[in-house]
Structures are given as structure tokens and as C-alpha cells.
Amino acid sequence: MPHFDAIIIGSGFGGLYALHHLRDMLGLSVRVFDSAGGVGGTWWYNRYPGARVDAPSTPFYAYTFSRELVEGWDWPETQASQGTVLAYLEYVADQLDLRKDIQFNTRITDARYDEAAQGWTVETHSGETASAQFLICATGALFVANRPAIPGIDDFTGKICHTGRWPHEPVSFEGKSVAVIGTGSSGMQAIPEIAKTAKHLTVFQRTPQFALPARNRPLPKAELDAFRANWEDHRGSMIHRGGSPFPTTKLRARDATAEERQARYEQMWAEGGMQLLINSYRGVLTKEALNEEVSEFVRGKIRETVKDPETARKLLPDYFIGTKRMILDNGYFETYNRPNVSLVDLREDPIETFTQTGIRTRKGDHPVDMLVLATGFDAVSGSMLAINPKGRGGVSLKEKWADRFETYLGTAIADFPNLFMVHGPGSPGVFFTMPLGGECTVNWIGRCISHLRSTRLGAIEATPEAETLWDEEIQGIAAGTLYPRTNSWYLGANIPGKPRQFLGHLNGSSYFKRLTEVADAGFEGFMTEPVR
């Protein structure tokens, strides 16, 4: 059985950087396993039409650790497409010569901690095994596709595609009656593209969602070069400002009149991206009355855009804006003005069953040739539970996380020594710019490994007390906001039976400061063992 210093699961943003850092900066022997056929992680799988980074991204949704990589890649648009991000990650893999240490098309089906050996043994779907002292799970926050158990779905004879597992061969909607279930980021991105060629598109909506205009545009070279010239400053600002390089507003809504506030919302709307949410006034995600005013402003935009008042009514969201993932829109609401698009509100007209040739709702039959499931993911915890590692005493992660996703710092788990997660439950994950968050987390994991090696320690593991305090801290931060008042995948609410618990640290900047403090204090909250 081959043995390595570290095994990494996943070759998306987090895994690729972990391979580079541990192999090239720390000199460890490393093997990466990935079930995909190439690098890219979520960007390898999510290749549905219209897929883009769901934040005003470039040049910030990218690695920041290497000036050569920053200089060497020209981002063509402000909101990068899936194809561009995937090409970028392939470029990074080439530049850093990463592929030679990645075993693709290899799914890890089991991972067991060996207490005597102070290390992990993994098993692949084909029965191969490999061992390592450290197991780094860069398995992705949005990996395990949520396929709802809708009655009769297996009887449906048409093609079914999940946005999170999109086929690699071209998918044509030409002349077809297409159904889309789900109107989160993936659905909202795919729907305008599918509508362009489908004979008819029926959208089945459970929860109407807010979206802000993406205002995607070509990124002029001069603008990109200006960012590059100040790259280190931008990186520092991003770490200290919650993942964005730009300061957020200090304006208070109470200092403005109602007319002034509306004018400011219009200005932020015109600027696009997340501006309305983060830069109109302070506290949109914490103050109920302010949030309701901003929410109503956006509802007004939906009413203005969608010509049929009945369709517009069904599309009006009724939760606090921003408390489900904020979606950036590239023509979603306008799509409902097309004659070939119709909307079914599942709250008024629920699905009763699939038939062989369509979907039967309470009010009638909808003929369907092809079904697109844009129904999201078992987010954050799902990819770890799919591997279901067995820690000390053979206890499985499924047992450990049966009622609560307990972690320390979102990266370590009590009873699972020498295992580290990138973007695990309790980390900033999707609430921070993920490539940079991944870099900072991996750097910390590298520091931890170096600490063990230099002090001749064989194993490190979070204490249960540290986990309990961490959970309290995460939930406390979330409780100070409006997030917990909305059913969302941030709380596991999209998966039937999933424990309800806020899954992310909402203040990435203080989190990364905290990681440094924990390390500076000799890895506070951890227990260690000498090399056996």
C-alpha cells in the first residue's frame, strides 16, 4: 500500500492549493484523489448553461498567493463563466505541475484512522488503498447533489439532468418541452439560457427568490492591470474586509429621508452586483425594518420587469433579502415575458406525481420531454458524510454528526486526529471569497503540520470542549443577524431530516485572525500525542 505524508481529497480550488502548499512549500509527499475526470471541483461538475460565479468575481475569485498566476491570467469578464473558471484552474494545474500527483476518476469510499500508526488509510471505489499521516478533505461545500424524492420521478421516461452533475456532452433543448425545478442560483442562471431554444419551458418554483442585477461586462485590460499593480494591498484588504477588497458603507439609514434612501437604492441597483445589499446602508442583514425596505425595493423591480401581473405576483419573495444566498441576475425576470415560458407556483399548485411523459400538479398535467433539476446540494456537510470517515475507536462521522455538525474552527473534528477540512461546517466557507478563504485555511493547516513535525508530535486533535465553544460562537454570531429566520441551505433546511444548525462563520476576517491566534497560542483547543 503506498504511503504519503498527506492525502488530499478533492482537486478544486482548495485541493489544488493544498497540493501546491504541502508539496512545494513544505516538501511533503502528497497524493490527491478526485472522483472527477479533471481538476476544478465544483467547476468541473457544474457545467449547466449559464453557470457563472455567483458574485461579482473577477479578478477576485482567483488565487492570490502567487504574483505569477495573477499576472499570467487575463479575466475577460467581471462575472466569470464556468468555462473560464475551469480553464483558469487547468492553467494553474499546468503552471504548478500539479496533475502528476492527482489520481482522477477515483472516488474515496472509506477512510479509517489507525490509532497505532497515527495516520489514515483510504479506500477507493475500485478497492485500492493508500495511507498517510494527514488527511486533508477539500471535498467542497456544494458537492453532493440534492435529488428530491418526488413521487413517480423514476417512471419519467425523458432525460433528467441535475445542474450540479451536468453531462459533458452537449445538451440540446431545441424543440423540447423542458421543466426546471428549482430557482436558486443554478436555476436562475440556467433558465434564461434554456428559454432561448426550448419549445416551451415550465419553471416549477417552491420559493420565489431575490436577485440583484449582475451587470456583467467585459473587464478592460487597463482595469485588470490596475488591480494587479496593487495586488498585495487588495489581498490584505480582502482578508480584513470579509473577502472583498473594497470598504463597505458607513452610512446609516436613519440619517436619511425616505426619498434619499430610495435614491440611494436606485444608485446601488444601477451599480449592480452586491452593492444594494452591502453598500446602501449599514445593517441590511441585521436590521429588520431596513431589510424589509430594501426587500420591498427589489420586489418593486420585479413588478416593473415582469409584464404579466399574476406571474409577477408569484415571483415576489417573502423572506429577508440576503438571508438566502444572494443571486446575481442576468435576465432571469425578463425571461418570464417570453411567450414560451410559464411558471408554476408549487405553494399554490404542488406536484402530485411524475408520469412517464410529464409532471402532474394539483391543477393539471404538464407535458415534459426533459427535466432539469436545479435543486441544489446537501451543502457543507454532505461531501464529508459521503466519505464518512471513521475516527478513534472506529466511530463514523455519520454517528458523530447524527444530531449536530460538531467541529472546531470548521477544520478539525474531535476523535478524528490528523484530519483537516477546508470549508467544513463552522468555517467561513461560502460567506467569504472561497479561493482566498481556502488559501488562508490551507496555510494554517500547513502551519499545524509543520508544528507537529518540528516538535516530534504524531497526532493532533480538537478537544470536545473546544468544539462545544466553537459551535456556541458560530450560532451566537448568526443569532445577531436575520439569517436564522429564513429557511435556507445555510441552515440545512433544504434537506429533509438534516439537523438544523447554522453552518458557517459569518465573520471571515475575525475567523482568520482567530486561526492565527490559536496557532500562536500553541494550537489552543487541541490535544497532541508524541510520535509513537
Residues that bind ligand NA7 (CB under 6 A): 54, 142, 148, 163, 181-187, 206-207, 325, 346, 374-377, 430, 489, 494
- How large is the angle between the packed helices 434-454 and 231-240, nearest 10 degrees? 80
H/E element holding 311?
A: helix 309-314
Distance CA 302, CA 490 (A): 25
The least CB distance from residue 129 to ligand NA7, in Å, is 33
Nearer to ligand NA7, 117 or 153 (CB): 153
Q: What are phi and psi of 122, to 5 degrees?
A: -110, 155
In angstroms, give the least distance from the CB of 290 to ligand NA7: 23
Strand 108-114 and strand 119-124: the pairing is antiparallel
Smallest gap from Cβ 182 to ligand NA7, in A, equals 3
Residue nearest to ligand NA7 (CB): 184
| Complex with ligand NA7: residue 56 or 391, whichever CB lies closer | 56
Give the whole-angstrom CA distance, residue 358 versus residue 374. Answer: 17
Residue 179 Cβ vs ligand NA7, minimum distance, rounded to whole Å: 11
Closest separation in Å from C-beta 147 to ligand NA7: 9
Q: Which helix (H) or strand (E) holds 478?
A: helix 464-479
Q: In this complex, which beta carbon is closest to ligand NA7, that of residue 393 or of residue 496?
A: 496
- Closer residue to ligand NA7, CB minimum distance, 416 or 432: 432
Query: The C-alpha cell of 523 is what?
Result: 494550537
Grid coordinates given for 84: 473560464
Beta carbons within 8 Å of 227's beta carbon, 6+ residues apart: 59, 234
**Quick one: 43 or 75, whose CB is closer to ligand NA7?**
43
Q: Is the dihedral of CA 518, 520, 521, 526 positive or negative?
A: positive
Nearer to ligand NA7, 186 or 291 (CB): 186
| Contact yes or no for 178/200 (Cβ under 8 A) | yes
**Is the Cβ–Cβ distance between 98 and 39 less than 8 Å?**
yes
Minimum CB separation of residue 495 from ligand NA7 in Å reads: 9
Strands 211-213 and 526-530: unpaired
Burial of 288 (0-12, 13-18, 19+ CB in 10 A): exposed
Q: Can you give 19-60 as a three-state secondary structure string?
A: HHHHHHHCCCCEEEECCCCCCCCHHHHCCCCCCECCCCCCCC
Smaller CB separation from ligand NA7, 190 or 449: 190
- Select 268 or 374, whichever has its Cβ closest to ligand NA7: 374
Residues in the chain, overall count: 532
Task: State the minimum distance, in angstroms, from the CB of residue 177 to ligand NA7.
Answer: 18
CB of 442 to ligand NA7, least distance (A): 20
Q: Which of 248, 160, 219 is nearest to 507 (CA)?
A: 248
Least separation in angstroms between residue 377's CB and ligand NA7 is: 6
Nearer to ligand NA7, 443 or 494 (CB): 494
